Structure 1
Amino acid sequence: CVLLYPSLSFSFSLFLCVSLVIMAGTVLLAYYFEYTDTFPVHVQGFFCYDKSFSKPYPGPDETSKVPPVLVYSLVTAVPTITILAGELMAFFMKSEGTQEKTIVTADCCYFNPLLRRIIRFLGVYSFGLFTTTIFANAGQVVTGNQTPHFLSACRPNYTALGCQSNLQYITERRACTGNPLIVASARKSFPSKDAALSVYSAVYTVMYVTLVFRTKGTRLTKPTLSLTLLCLAMLVGVVRVAEYRNHWADVLAGYFTGGAIAVFLVTCVINNFQQTKPPPLPLRPQRPESVLGMPMVALPCVESPLEKLSGPQVRGGGG
């Protein structure tokens, strides 16, 4: 890594390379979960004629009132625009707590404080976005919980399976006669990925707005914006349940996953969006009067005329 960035200091080069490797690994893992069959979905059995999984098939996700394209666009655009607007406003208005010194990493490399904060906040947000995707996809693959419309997508042949009552449990892997892609998608219900991403984006943005924005004109600006973002995130989960794409347990688990990751990154990784305070200056040695219990009062320093005299002049005056 140091050879790739010879103009940067060793510590900064190491930090940059480690961050890039972690980010690349996170993106790659999210890609394998989302677009490949590297991690096969766990196949769970089901009861014959189970009413919990017998809801009508709502169609592909693209036909939803809140399609994935819309969700992914909003969770990417809203925090990015909010952070860019907030940092620009804070920088030009000289907001307290957002002013940082220019970082010098080498003789030729300087980092503007505005650019440094934007890269830090958006970089951590992007990392959390892919992490949330990995957690949600991993939960879906490991559990293999069925969606409310699973039996409509599976289309099992109850006669061939010998279903005599609702208490008979089917464990055969070839019990479904429907489209294999639709059946595989119907086995990925817990937790709800759209709910997790929506809440992660909303909580991260709300915490940024609450901790960074300083509004003097009205006290309702930040609460209104924060509640609006949270309500929109909650609405995604409600739509998923209303369209029989997820159970309430799936949506609540998605809410918890996204919210927990956002809170952890804000509080533990970037320290509530605040600049780290410098260590306090060492205390000066106490004067004798402070030791005797007398209060010390800060007075202006006045140079005594005697201090201007040199040693020989003082001795000469005394003779």
Structure 2
Amino acid sequence: MAFGITSITLITVDILNRLEKKNKKKRCLSADTRVCLKGFGIFLFGFAIAQLFNEVLKNAVGRLRPHFFDVCRPNVFFINCSEGYITNYTCTNREHSATILRNIRQSFPSGHAVFSMFTAMYLALYIQIRLNISYSLILKPTFQAGLLLLSLLCSASRITDHMHHCSDVIAGLILGFIVACAVFYSLGTKYLNNHNGDSICSSDDIEENSVPASKECQIPLQLLHEKSKCTRLKSKTLTSSSLIV
């Protein structure tokens, strides 16, 4: 869903900008396409950074998920609770694979919270800097609020499904928020700024406006040229008449 929502959002922003520039008779279509591709590339880079932090923390902390006992069903008859933390146990549930049994010891932080908040925050910042429309004042904040709401709903579902503790989700949201801001303000503000596109637009507009002006000036120039011919002919006529006299 993160990749799908990101692709749809970037394309939507590009289309809205094209419509806005079409109404203003600007030509920046190729520049907008390049910026859109750069935005998706920066998103992939940030997604990889978030994945790296998430995997390192999950394997380093090794916190048990809320449904650990239901999935593992450890043999409690051979566990001595007086020893404190139990590190040696045997799962008696054979219905699940080794991957699932390893996954139940990777609760902190919530990967869904990390990726959903990273996606929502990155796209909210992208919309803030890239979407420029004059016909609606609430469209931009509506998009941003909707993305953040989807992230919070996805994160909250991990608590209601008993897949994560509340602290796991909060830590994931904070981590995703930090990674999104760090990646965007280090790369996004440099490569996705509207000033680059505006400079291209202004140069195109100058060229476009200069062509009609030259065409309009062709008629007055022809008239001036004809007038100069008439003046020269008159001067020659006056000179010949004076010689005759």
Tell me the TM-score normalised to structure 1 length: 0.54
1:251 CA displacement: 0.6
Q: Is 1:169 paired with 2:169?
A: no
Q: Secondary structure at the match of 2:47?
A: helix
The 5 Å alignment of 1:1-319 reads 74-91=1-18, 93-94=20-21, 112-163=30-81, 168-172=84-88, 174-178=89-93, 179=96, 180-271=98-189, 273-275=192-194
Letter in 1 for 2:85: Y
Deviations along 1:274-303, one digit per CA (max 9) or x if unpaired, are 1467xxxxxxxxxxxxxxxxxxxxxxxxxx
Q: State which drifts further: 205-214 or 175-184.
A: 175-184
- Count of aligned positions: 191
Q: Measured at CA, do residues 214 and 263 of structure 1 come closer, stay the same or move farther in structure 2, by a change above 3 Å?
A: same
Instruction: Check conservation: 1:202, 1:230, Cα contact below 8 A.
Output: yes
- Report the structure, 1 or 2, having the larger helix content: 2
Aligned equivalents of 1:227, 1:121: Cα separation in 2: 20
2 CA distance for matches of 1:121 and 1:168?
Answer: 50
C-alpha deviation, 1:91, in angstroms: 4.0
Aligned partners of 1:231, 1:261: CA distance in 2, in Å? 19
Structure having the higher Rg: 2
Amino acid across the alignment from 2:165: H
Question: What are the superposed Cα offsets for residues 77-131 of structure 1, whole Å, 9 maximum, x if unpaired?
Answer: 11212112222432453399x987x9xxxxxxxxx42332122111001111222
CA positional deviation for 1:266: 1.5
CA deviation digits over 1:251-285, x for unaligned, max 9? 111111111111112111121731467xxxxxxxx
Give the TM-score normalised by the residue count of structure 2.
0.69
Q: Give the residue type in structure 2 aligned to 1:235.
A: L
Supply the AA of the counterpart residue of 1:122: F
What 5-or-longer segments of structure 1 have no aligned partner? 1-73, 103-111, 278-319
